[in-house]
Chains A and B, each alone.
Chain A
Amino acid sequence: MSNSRNSRRTQQWRDTTIPRRPLLWLAAALLFTLPALLGTLASWVPFLFLFALVLKFWMEPRGYRLRSTSLKLILMALTLGAIFLSYNTLKGIEPAVSLLTVLVSLKILEAHTAREFQVMVTMAWVLCLCGFLLSQDLAIAFCLFVAFALLIAALVQFHRGSSPGAFWLPLATTLKLVAQAAPVVVLLFLLFPRINTGFQFRIGDLHAAMTGFSDRLSPGGIEMLANSSDIAFRAEFPDRRTRPAGPMYWRGLVMWHCEGLEWRAPYAPASISDSSRQYPASDKAIRQRITIAPHGARWMFALDRPFGIPSGAMLARGNYLYSVQPIRKSRRYEVLSSTDPIGKELGARERREALQLPASISPAVRELAGSLAARNSGPRATVASALQFFRTQGFRYSLSPGEYNKNDLDEFLFRRRTGFCEHYAASFATLMRLAGIPARVVVGYLGGEYNDLGGFFLVRQADTHAWCEVWIPENGWTRIDPTTAVAPDRASLDLSSFLAGRIASGEMATGRTAFVTQLARLPLVNQIRLIWEALNYQWDTRVLAFDADVQDVLLTSLGLTNSGPFPLVMQVLIVVSALLIIYAGWMQLQTRPRADRIQALYERYCQKLARIGVQRDPWEGPSDFAKRAAQSLPNASECVRQITETYIALRYAPGPTAISLDKFAKEIDAVTAHR
């Protein structure tokens, strides 16, 4: 009695194990989900995750696993506590994703049945989804796609059981499945209604202090950006011939408020009314299509002086684009610009603002400004002599000029004389204002790297630049870039290549290792980088930018009027199911057994002969029939012989034949010609 009870107990406690190969596939898939989550997870979570994976491979062959319920509860409580300590909360997306990852890690240690394997695969799929929720970057998408495929492979391998098979067999099945699903995916992508519920994950807020400059130009601010290779925006010139000849100054925002070496833009800029806007001659307009990366602020970029305003934006005072909504997701717009100086008349209020000065300006600086103005009569001459001052007084361009405070104008102008574009722009504009010339600082980007493959300019955060605009009565606002007075190369190159040149000539020491710089200069590496960037651009502009508006345009062009989400869903369902039925029918036709097609062709041949007068009896074999047909149709005997030979070879001969069905069909088509 006790014996049988024991055996039942052992039966109950006998563990199943998950075979090694499916586990390998699953582990690989989980590893590929990790990059997407890495930025979001608490720093210790990835280590726990990897540790759990490694531990599983150690435990599984030995039959160890997480069994005790109390141990599981303790681990659960510990990890929950750790997540709470890491975030100080359990609410929100970041703790949730961390929690999910931790749960998956613990599940890995616990799982050992077929059902739990399925659960793990499902959870891995949820992780994939989370990854997409967090980032839609092309590299991340690629990783997640690989993870997705590996999960299918894991399932295929798992259901294959212990049956032997080459390592690539599940992969081949997976690829086939993915290829079969691809048309449906494309259809769903194009047609699935993107219903705007107003509900939005505020994931953008997570990456607080997003990339890009701020509305405050303080000494050292741009220096931080100079080493960032993040993408600011990408620009295309749809009319290639109107690409500007000179350096490309991308206007970001205009700063009016001066505090010496620090400048500020108005928090809520006033817009330029339609009537006071100036439209240059249309042949001088440069059309740009710009795909802006999310930066959390509201300014938008355009070449020099934009005048055509994209929807959802306004033209702020100072002639720069200002978005109605903060830019939290990638956005694409078209804008027209002119490179000519702009402005007819300076209003009294604007003049006052453009001449505003802080009280803390030292007498020495005032004296310098006075001397620049006194020596010359007109504003042009004053500008020229100020530039001359920068050029001749031993100013140096350096990315690491040391720290300045916002009141360190004297320090910069008279002592250290080393700085960056922001120092030059700020001090120059301040000097101009002291000399009585209205001036403002413009912050934006200079240059950009042209991508041959994609046909677009890529502008990085490292291309951030600051320059000035001064009011010259007969011209209007005229761009003056004092940095070029000090470093003439800067305007013609993008910042990184300019700096690379400086490093190469030994003029600059930088933290950047020479190795990386050298590597980036290899043609092959450069080519791959360009291809990758072009791909990224396509991904951003064609896939990610396909939102409700673009879909609306597409649907309208297809003749599907968008009359609310419900009819749209219905229409789409009808279209999709119709397409699926057609697809299924086509597949059915394609996969019809070869034997059936041979038979159908042979029957066609028999019908043809019957029309000529030789009817095949249903029980008559092909060879007998051929004999009879050849006797009553001597003219066609050769043709009959050939067809019968082919038919017999196709239908009765051993092994695969090289005879193609098309050839057979052609022979049969030729039958009537013989009559």
Chain B
Amino acid sequence: METMFAQPIIPADDSSVTDDVDAFVKQICEVIVGKNHAVKLAVACLLARGHLLIEDIPGVGKTTLSQALARSLALAFQRIQFTSDLLPADILGNSIFDRDEQRFVFHRGPLFSQVVLIDEVNRATPKTQSALLEAMEEHHISIDGVTYELPEPFFVVATQNPQTAVGTFPLPESQLDRFLMRIELGVPERASERAMLLGMDRREMLKELKPVISPRTLIEIQDNVRKVHASAALLDYLQDLLDASRQRHNPGLSPRAGLALLHASQAWALMNGRDMVLPEDIQAIGITVMGHRLGHDIEQPGQSGRTLADNLLHSVPVP
């Protein structure tokens, strides 16, 4: 959402924060041409400490986007390609017997990283998918009775093909709920596509990307996001949305979804230079936050979650 006002209504405390974020968004947009809104949403998800699910057909730049995010942040980056024969130990790590020391030593898997790109998350079996659960929610991993903390910040970007594609295991609801947002990139516009065709090779561009935000700054910004003010009136609106979803759909939005809406809209407000959340912020992130959570309505099986979320946003009045 672009605000109509030249000046932010109430300037955020620290304008350098928005400058950093702007530079960050700008750099990624140079790589992913013509997808400004999707990029901003992805950044908002990151700032809200959420995990991101990118769903689209192959070849629209899902992997490129997640790589661009990781490289611009100077964070440790790991990529895991999910396949149907992938086992939990492959991503979490293994205890291997060390002959010299006469004991088992834990070898950390690829999940021990800061930005983890999980390609084609719905290709793996549910067993492996659920191994992600603890890591995503709790930011730690328990193996053989030992708990290993994951590094901070920890950010999972998962991509998946539309579930109509052959050979996929749809993500269970519990796991979908753990993704703050699900975004779609879609086919670029004609002009954007032309720019891409004419421009540099994307892989070269990714290599040349310089970190824009230090990990410490990122954590600071993430802390600031939680401080963005949500007034009583705004919370009323948020709860109206939750109530409406529970009345119309089965199941409706969970309390975790409510928190997700709040945090994502806080991040969105901060990115727009405000220190308070407006109903427009919720509406801006609403479809991406609610869409994947409403896609499993047992009473309306044919409806896509995005449509249901859109209907909600266009029917619940702003109090």
Question: Counting CB contacts under 8 A, is B102 at the interface?
Answer: no
Contact B315 A652 (CB under 8 A): no
Enumerate chain B residues within 8 angstroms of A654, measured Cβ to Cβ. Answer: 229, 231, 275-276
Contacts known (A641-B5, A649-B9, A654-B276); A619 close to B318, Cβ less than 8 A: yes
Partner of B4, one of A595, A618, A627: A627
Contact A621 B9 (CB under 8 A): no
Per-residue A-contact encoding for B282-319, CB less than 8 Å = 1, 0 else: 01000000000000000000000000000001111111
Contact A622 B231 (CB under 8 A): no
Question: Counting CB contacts under 8 A, is A43 at the interface?
Answer: no
Instruction: Mark out the residues of chain A between 599 and 614 whose CB falls within 8 Å of any chain B CB in the assembled complex.
Output: 599
Question: Counting CB contacts under 8 A, is B277 at the interface?
Answer: yes
> In the docked arrangement, what's the CA distance between A655 and B229, Å?
9
Contact B4 A621 (CB under 8 A): no
Enumerate chain A residues within 8 angstroms of B275, measured Cβ to Cβ. Answer: 653-654
Contacts known (A621-B278, A622-B279, A624-B280); A652 close to B231, Cβ less than 8 A: yes
Count residues on chain B whose CB falls below 8 Å from chain A CBs: 25
Contact A623 B231 (CB under 8 A): no
Secondary structure class of chain B's binding surface, majority of residues: loop
Question: Counting CB contacts under 8 A, is A547 at the interface?
Answer: no
Contact A653 B3 (CB under 8 A): no
Question: Counting CB contacts under 8 A, is A645 at the interface?
Answer: yes
Partner of B318, one of A621, A627, A655: A621
Taking CB as reference atom, which chain A residue is nearest B241? A619
Enumerate chain A residues within 8 angstroms of B60, measured Cβ to Cβ. Answer: none
Contact A619 B314 (CB under 8 A): yes
Contact B276 A595 (CB under 8 A): no
Q: Interface centre among A617, A648, A649, by most B CB within 10 Å?
A: A648
Count residues on chain A whose CB falls below 8 Å from chain B CBs: 22
Partner of B317, one of A619, A622, A641: A619
Instruction: Mark out the residues of chain B between 1 and 20 whose CB falls within 8 Å of any chain A CB in the assembled complex.
Output: 1, 3-5, 9-10
Contacts known (A621-B283, A630-B4); A652 close to B318, Cβ less than 8 A: no
Question: Counting CB contacts under 8 A, is B232 at the interface?
Answer: yes
Contacts known (A621-B279, A652-B276); A595 close to B232, Cβ less than 8 A: yes
> In the docked arrangement, what's the CA distance between A660 and B174, Å?
47
Contacts known (A621-B283, A654-B276); A599 close to B315, Cβ less than 8 A: no
Instruction: Mark out the residues of chain A between 605 and 663 whose CB falls within 8 Å of any chain B CB in the assembled complex.
Output: 617-624, 626-627, 630, 641, 645, 648-649, 651-655
Contact B318 A648 (CB under 8 A): no
Contacts known (A619-B314, A622-B278, A626-B4); A652 close to B319, Cβ less than 8 A: no
Instruction: Mark out the residues of chain B between 181 and 234 whose CB falls within 8 Å of any chain A CB in the assembled complex.
Output: 229, 231-234
Partner of B233, one of A620, A627, A651: A651
> In the docked arrangement, what's the CA distance between A623 and B229, Å?
17
Taking CB as reference atom, which chain A residue is nearest B228? A654
Enumerate chain B residues within 8 angstroms of A648, measured Cβ to Cβ. Answer: 9, 276, 278
Contact B233 A645 (CB under 8 A): no
A559 CB, min distance to chain B CBs, angstroms: 48
- 18 more A-B residue pairs beyond the given contacts A595-B232, A619-B316, A621-B278, with a C-beta to C-beta distance below 8 A: A618-B318, A619-B313, A620-B318, A621-B279, A622-B279, A622-B280, A623-B4, A623-B280, A624-B1, A641-B5, A649-B10, A651-B233, A652-B231, A652-B278, A653-B229, A653-B275, A653-B276, A654-B231
Question: Could you list some 9 contacts between A and B, CB below 8 A?
Answer: A619-B314, A621-B279, A623-B4, A624-B280, A626-B4, A630-B4, A648-B276, A648-B278, A649-B10
